[in-house]
A and B are shown apart, each in its own frame.
Chain A
Amino acid sequence: MGKAIVNLAVAGFFFLGSIWLWCIADGFPTSPRYSQVDTDFWPKLVFGLMALTTGGQVISSILGLRAQLKAWNAGLATNTGMPSAQSVFISLRVIAMAILIMAYYFGFQYLGFSIATLLFLWLASFTVSFKMAAVKILFAPLFTLILVFIFTRVLALPLPRGVGVFYDISLLLY
């Protein structure tokens, strides 16, 4: 049941989104020289078709949901739709990893590559179960140093140095 609701919600989101994007395309500036193949020509075609297919998806999701509701009312459905403790734990793990990746993205720019990578590798390694803590702790600085060496010394490619005091720390390395 929960899956059917999510399917309907996503299809609805895409349907409304494609109509909104079609309307935005309608408001694009026009150029008389290209009036028949103007800026809005292709986006309107794509999002118009997308509105059609996602509209079809909304209808099919509603029909599927109705059939499930009927089965539910008739007492045929067995799934309570309640998440188990394990699925809650996994969801929290995914959210934690997503937050860490976002934090790494910002840390990358403000703390510089080396510090942000070191912290990210340490923290992220604890989101997936692995008992050897010593390996986790040693791996992060080793991997960071290897990457810094390869990118800055071998390939001469730039890595972010961060700002302020972190910039000065990064200068010590590369």
Chain B
Amino acid sequence: MLEPFAEAIAYMIGNPTTFLLIVFAVIWGITFGSVPGLTGIVGVALLIPFTFVFDPTEGLLLLGGVYVGSTFGGSISAILFNTPGSPEAACTALDGYPMAKRGQAGRALGIALSASAIGGIFGTVVLTLFAPPMARLALSFGPPEYFALAVLGITAISGIGGGSLLKGLTAGLLGLGVATIGLDPITGMQRYTFGNLGLLTGVSFVPAIIGMFALAEVLQRVSESHHTPESTTKVSTQLPTFRELLATRITLLRSSTVGAIIGALPGVGATTAAFISYSEAVRWSKHPEAFGTGIAEGIAAPEAANNSAVGGSMIPLLALGIPGSATTAVMLGGLTIHGIIPGPLLMQQNSQLVYSVFIGMMLANVLMLLFGLPAARYFALILRAPYALVGPAIVVLCMTGVYALNSNPFDVAVMLLMGATGFLLRRLQYPVASFIIGLVLGPIAELSLRQGLMIVDYSYWAFASRPITAVLLLASLASLVYGFYGQYRRHRARQTAVG
């Protein structure tokens, strides 16, 4: 391992342009990640034709840098405007925006940035050291394990939302229900499409989260009688102190580990990693009711996980030739253009390229710290503009971004409907986090449950007794009971305080 690693370092030192490419890629990625609707996938896809002029290593470094930058970029608009720039950052808005509303936008951005860098570096280290064994572990995950993993994330709904437990469950089930719209993934039959062809592919996630967060936020702001407090517009991005980082070390470590493992699972990706990691942070917290009100762990958990998942998702891509996420699927296209076929042989025959990518991604995470701070600061200047201009501009950006995804007005209609739903859910105090968790994890849970049952000949016992599945399902059950108990305890405490 050391020899190809040394070769990769020598290559990068001998080609200073690679450094410039990574700098450009990180800035490009942060920009694309921070604009709602554009996302990192668009950023990577737009650069693929330009990689022709570079050699394969430089091309891959360029795409990898964009992936790293865009994953963090989404959190900037999520924190400042409750408008996730990319799906991976949807979870960050849940605590980042409330913290920004309290006048601590700079602190929220600093936590997101440092957690992103820590998670990203952790994911890259895992990628460098354990790519082959991690790829084998990922292959041992079958449908029952995927189902158990999704259930583990979904059961966190019981702990989210300090208000009504029933409202939290209803919102979560509503998310799961919305995820059933479209063609059945197994039989191919239509479900709840009501003859509408646009619904055949289901409710797309990007329009849904943009509507649920950004549009609902604009309506919410219009419905508020008071103006934006001065404190919200004063943003001085500050990295957390060592003591603050130390206070969130367990969350950072757990989320980075969860992110690397989930990222390595083919077809799951950084968004799921962020939500499951957030769920775990809620589950293990001594104050689960504080999540959603703007706490550091609520920002650090999804940000560490989604950036760690970037490194994780490169594992199946490079070691097995299977893309771990939508962005790595686009990158796979970029690799094949250069005649590189990812897979086990790539690690042996082209180790210099592989290790250059590892080093480049590590560098990109460090550079993110350098460029993320000014990027967030400049972005925050928008907060000083009056909301009479910013609010309508956000609506226009959301509409344009969503339309540009597939040039499909139906996606915009979905966004509008989700915006209205999000606004009403908030007004009626249904936790939006539960709805989004249901929407993200629903399709994974359904497909893997049904596929798994078919594999084990419909034996529920055989399905649940596989070792990894059993451990994950038991953990889900324990956390569900604990979540209900926690809610019950808080309800009793509130009643005692009132009485």
Q: A residues touching B (Cβ–Cβ < 8 Å)? A: 6-7, 10-11, 14, 18, 21, 24-25, 28-29, 31, 34, 36-39, 41-43, 46-47, 49-50, 53-54, 56-57, 60, 86, 90-91, 93-94, 97-98, 101-102, 104-105, 108-109, 113, 117, 120-121, 124-130, 132, 135-136, 139, 143-144, 147, 151, 155, 157-160
In the complex, besides A18-B173, A37-B453, A49-B173, 6 extra interface pairs with C-beta distance below 8 angstroms are: A29-B189, A43-B191, A109-B409, A113-B400, A130-B386, A155-B404
Q: Which of A14, A29, A132, A143 is the one whose CB lies under 8 Å from B170?
A: A14
* Contacting pair B395 A124 (CB below 8 A): yes
Contact of A159 among B221, B222, B400, B454 (CB under 8 A): B400
Residues from chain A with a CB closer than 8 A to the CB of B480 are none
Question: Which of B170, B392, B397, B446 is packed against the most chain A CB atoms within 10 Å?
Answer: B392
Distance of A21 Cα from B177 Cα, bound (Å):
9
Check if B20 is an interface residue, CB within 8 A of chain A.
no
**8 closest residue pairs by CB, A with B:** A130-B388, A124-B392, A128-B388, A37-B450, A50-B173, A42-B446, A39-B189, A157-B404
Q: Give, as a whole number of angstroms, the nearest-CB distance from B255 to chain A.
A: 28
Residues on the B chain within 8 Å of A42, using CB: 180, 446, 449-450
| A130 near B180: Cβ-Cβ < 8 Å | no
A127: B residues at CB distance < 8 A: 222, 388
Q: In the bound complex, do residue A136 and residue B389 qualify as a contact, i.e. CB atoms below 8 Å apart?
A: yes
A159 touching B396, Cβ below 8 Å: no
Q: For residue A21, which residues in chain B have a CB less than 8 angstroms away from its CB? A: 177, 192
Chain B: CB-nearest residue to A94: B223
B399 and A108 form a contact (CB under 8 A): yes
- Contact between A101 and B180, CB atoms less than 8 A apart: no
Q: B407 in the interface, Cβ–Cβ < 8 Å?
A: yes
Contacts of A136 in B (CB 8 A): 388-389
Contacting pair B409 A108 (CB below 8 A): yes
- Say whether A97 contacts B389, CB under 8 Å: no
Question: Closest A-chain residue to B396, C-beta based?
Answer: A117
Please tell me if B267 contacts chain A, counting CB pairs below 8 Å: no
Q: How many B residues face the partner with a CB closer than 8 A?
A: 57
Q: Type the 1/0 row for B436-452, where 1 means its CB is closer than 8 Å to any CB of A.
A: 00000010001001100
> How many Å lie between the Cα of A86 and that of B189 in the bound state?
50
Evaluate contact between B173 and A53: CB separation under 8 angstroms: yes
Residue in B closest to A25 when the chains form the complex, CB atoms: B191
Could you tell me if B453 and A36 are in contact, using CB atoms closer than 8 angstroms?
A: yes
User: Are A120 and B177 closer than 8 Å at their CB atoms?
Assistant: no
**Complex partner residue of B393 from A39, A90, A143, A157, CB under 8 angstroms:** A143
What CA separation (Å) do A135 and B412 show in the bound complex?
A: 28
B174 CB within 8 Å of chain A: yes
Q: How far is the CA of A126 from the CA of B387 in the complex (A)?
A: 11
In the complex, what distance in Å separates the CA atom of A14 from the CA atom of B38?
A: 34
- Select from chain B the residue with minimum beta-carbon distance to A157: B404
Question: Complex Cα distance A41/B453, Å?
Answer: 12
Asked whether A7 lies within 8 Å of B416 as measured between CB atoms, the reply is no
13 pairs, CB–CB < 8 Å, chain A vs chain B: A14-B170, A18-B177, A21-B177, A34-B187, A39-B184, A39-B191, A42-B180, A49-B173, A60-B164, A102-B416, A125-B392, A130-B387, A143-B396
Residue of A nearest to B429 (CB): A7
Mark out the residues of chain B between 150 and 206 whose CB falls within 8 Å of any chain A CB in the assembled complex: 164, 166-167, 169-170, 173-174, 176-177, 180, 184, 186-187, 189, 191-192
The answer to whether A104 and B458 touch (CB under 8 A), given A36-B453, A128-B222, A158-B404, is no
| CB-CB under 8 A for A125 and B416, given A37-B458, A46-B173, A90-B223 | no
Chain A nearest Cβ from B480, distance in angstroms: 13
A57 CB contacts on chain B under 8 angstroms: 164, 166-167, 170
Task: Give the residue name and chain of the B residue nearest to A124 (CB).
Answer: B392
Residue of B nearest to A47 (CB): B177
Give complex CA distance A36, B455 in Å.
12
**B391 beta carbon closer than 8 Å to chain A:** yes
Pick from B215, B223, B453: contact of A93, CB below 8 A. Answer: B223
The interface residues of chain A lying within 8 Å CB-to-CB of B391 are 124, 128
Closest B residue to A127 by beta carbon equals: B222
Contact B166 A60 (CB under 8 A): yes
Name B443's closest neighbour in chain A (CB-CB). A42
Whether B46 lies near A155 (C-beta < 8 A) is yes
Is B400 a contact of A98 with CB atoms below 8 Å? no
Contact A104 B399 (CB under 8 A): yes
- What residues on B are CB-neighbors of A108 within 8 Å? 399, 403, 409, 412
Evaluate contact between B392 and A37: CB separation under 8 angstroms: no
- Determine if B413 is an interface residue (Cβ-Cβ < 8 Å): yes
Is A28 a contact of B170 with CB atoms below 8 Å? no
Chain B positions 377-431 with a Cβ under 8 Å from a chain A Cβ: 386-389, 391-393, 395-397, 399-400, 403-404, 407, 409, 412-413, 416, 419-420, 428
A125 with B389: CB separation less than 8 A? yes
A43 and B180 contact, Cβ closer than 8 Å, known pairs A53-B166, A117-B396, A147-B400: yes
- For A47, list chain B residues within 8 Å (CB): 173, 177
Q: Which residues of A sit under 8 angstroms from B392, Cβ to Cβ?
A: 120-121, 124-125
Q: Which residues of B contact A143 (CB under 8 A)?
A: 393, 396
**Shortest Cβ distance from B447 into A: residue:** A42
Report B-chain residues with C-beta under 8 Å of the C-beta of A6. Answer: 428
Counting chain B CB atoms within 10 Å of each CB, which of A37, A127, A151 scores highest?
Answer: A37
CB atoms of B400 and A105 under 8 A apart: no
